[in-house]
Structure 1
């Protein structure tokens, strides 16, 4: 398959596309696309909404920030607005590849170590890079919403109404519940399903579709519960 066929196949013929990806694993094109879209997204956010507005919103929903004096809160806003853009770009350019590497290692341990399926790290890494392509649609929609809504109403942490968290009041809902509800997102589930399809395509008959989906979903479920717990502790 050509690269264009692979990219479109992930959306329209995922089994066929991932079979080809597993046979000839490459990852540069989807990875570069993800990084490029991420940089554009952060740049648009910086220009349209601004980091100071985001940090003030975070303070409004934080019980810890409520205990600070107005001077301390303002100091936190100014400092946060200064460093947030740096962390935003670093999070995209370094955080995304690093997360993919760690996630690939986890899946390799599950599939090869637990399920005894002889996949290679490069195959799994390529599967994850292509499975992340729905994120491009997510960012494109988020940018559109960013310019359709008032900057005051745009939430960088939850820009689209594709998860239960978007329907909750962030100021009154517990951080644990809000984090958990926000994690159960249509685009994340779409990506996880693609990962499962990719693992199945790469493994052939050595693993069932149910086993492949379990390998994709179980680590994610563990992660979102841990993340929600940390959000509740440090809120």
Structure 2
């Protein structure tokens, strides 16, 4: 007879499966080294003015190489067995306009970013070149130096020096190529910094996100806004008379989708800047960032995504207001 007090044996549960090891984008190291060496060469050539303006360009390119090399050691998101296959480049670029949540879900495990960054840079550079040709470099430089002269703490000799340098930068073919290079590198460095800041914000609000996930959110959230903004601005640029286009504010956008029209920039520069942040594309970009953080992160709640996005939107607004208060002449 069996013992009624005997306990039935239960096998212990199996140990939890270990998380898949996260790889690192070591393929970035060779391009990073090439960029760093190229930046140093441009910097050296810029000191004796063999390459005009090469000092700043060389520094920016070298910093880009250093950033890229450092990022090659940052772990990628782990590729889990249930991860979906990566979207094609065309699916990602087009899908971000009409189904961003699906694109961000796919980017969670496959953080591909280079093509989106290049498209943003092409639209920025293309619009910048068209704007300078349409409004003319002379008018842009004259307006800029006039506003600099109205700033009390800028000495007159600095204004004259800036006028010569700016005009050369807008007309010299070598300088224009360097401007495009600095634009691409600056865009990359900016997103590197923003990704780190947003990652910290998500962690503060109780979420969990990988650095590369945060990085692709920054780039893909900016892609639709940039394409729409620059495409519409390019159309307006050739519809309006060049004399009706502001030589400074128009360099960013000509789209009037905000409340800036309620205030005169000459009389109320701070209020004008504040109202300019309240617009369709501004809120569209805010929504894309919140959506991207939620769906691209490993564990980011809706509240954490929105809190992080709103936090930096407010900080950007405050920074713009401070600059408008310090340099009101450039707003009018």
Distance 2:277 2:167 in 1: 25
Q: Which residue of 2 aligns with 1:54?
A: 140
Of structures 1 and 2, the one with the larger relative CO (CA 8 A, separation 6+) is: 1
Q: Which residue of 2 aligns with 1:163?
A: 258
Distance 2:142 2:264 in 1: 16
Q: Which residue of 1 aligns with 2:219?
A: 129
Instruction: Classify 1:51/1:169 alpha carbon distance in 2 versus 1 (closer, same or farther; 3 Å).
Output: farther
| DSSP 3-state at the match of 1:169 | coil
Deviation at 1:167, TM superposition (A): 4.8
**Structure number with bigger Rg:** 2
Matched, 1:216 2:301: no
Alignment coverage as a number of residue pairs: 232
Q: Which residue of 2 aligns with 1:82?
A: 168
Question: For residues 91-110 of structure 1, what are the structure 2 equivalents within 5 Å?
Answer: 92-110=183-201
| DSSP 3-state at the match of 1:170 | coil
Q: Residue by residue, what CA displacement relative to the aligned partner does 1:82-113 show, whole Å, maximum 9, x if unpaired?
A: 3467585355222211111111010011112x
Q: Which residue of 1 aligns with 2:97?
A: 11
Greater share of residues in helix: 1
Q: Contact between 2:262 and 2:272, CA under 8 Å: does it hold in 1?
A: no
Deviates more, 1:100-109 or 1:70-79: 70-79
Q: Which residue of 2 aligns with 1:115?
A: 205
Q: Contact between 2:121 and 2:184, CA under 8 Å: does it hold in 1?
A: yes
Q: Contact between 1:161 and 1:167, CA under 8 Å: does it hold in 2?
A: no
**CA RMSD after TM alignment:** 2.9
Instruction: Classify 1:32/1:71 alpha carbon distance in 2 versus 1 (closer, same or farther; 3 Å).
Output: closer
Deviation at 1:173, TM superposition (A): 2.3
Deviation at 1:23, TM superposition (A): 1.8
Matched, 1:198 2:292: yes
Q: Residue by residue, what CA displacement relative to the aligned partner does 1:49-85 show, whole Å, maximum 9, x if unpaired?
A: 12332344456667825999x9997776454333467
Q: Which runs of 5+ in 1 are unaligned?
A: none
Q: Contact between 2:141 and 2:167, CA under 8 Å: does it hold in 1?
A: yes
Q: Contact between 1:22 and 1:127, CA under 8 Å: does it hold in 2?
A: no
**TM-score w.r.t. structure 1 length?**
0.84
Q: Contact between 1:60 and 1:66, CA under 8 Å: does it hold in 2?
A: no
Q: Contact between 1:10 and 1:17, CA under 8 Å: does it hold in 2?
A: yes
Deviation at 1:217, TM superposition (A): 1.7
